[in-house]
Amino acid sequence: MQHDEAPAAGARREFPGASAADDALLRHIMTTGGLWSAAAAISATIGLTGLLVSGWRPHQLEGVADPAWWAGAVLAVVGALALAWAGGPVVTDDPAAAARRKSVSVRAGLVVFVAGMAVAALAVLLG
């Protein structure tokens, strides 16, 4: 099937005006974006809860570790928001543009979230 051909009879199309490839990509990203954002929320919650229950607080970090932890925390939040946006509904008339934006959002969100968590964890471990 070519990129812009109509879907086969009985094929499920959720996004009118989208090519079959864009329709499939949007359905995939909306499903996995929600799952990734849930995984991000759970992993961040488990990690931070363990630290807080043990009595650790961010103000205990000294030197470069303090701003590094806060930078990592901000990056993790930005990444989680990008993942949540990718899993949200499509609010445009142009499904092809939405597919591109959501694809970039889920990829960038994963990278930024993991980088933020790594920076924050290293700040705690090395600080």
Per-residue pLDDT of 1-50, as tens digits, reads: 445 555 555 566 777 777 888 888 888 888 888 888 889 989 889 988 98
Name the amino acid, one letter, at 111.
V
Question: What does the domain layout of the chain look like in residue ranges?
Answer: 20-126
DSSP one-letter code for 4: T
89-101 pLDDT per residue, tens? 877 778 888 888 8
Dist. CA 120–CA 127, nearest whole Å: 10
Name the amino acid, one letter, at 73.
A
Contacts of 46 (CB under 8 A, 6+ apart): none
pTM (predicted TM-score)? 0.78
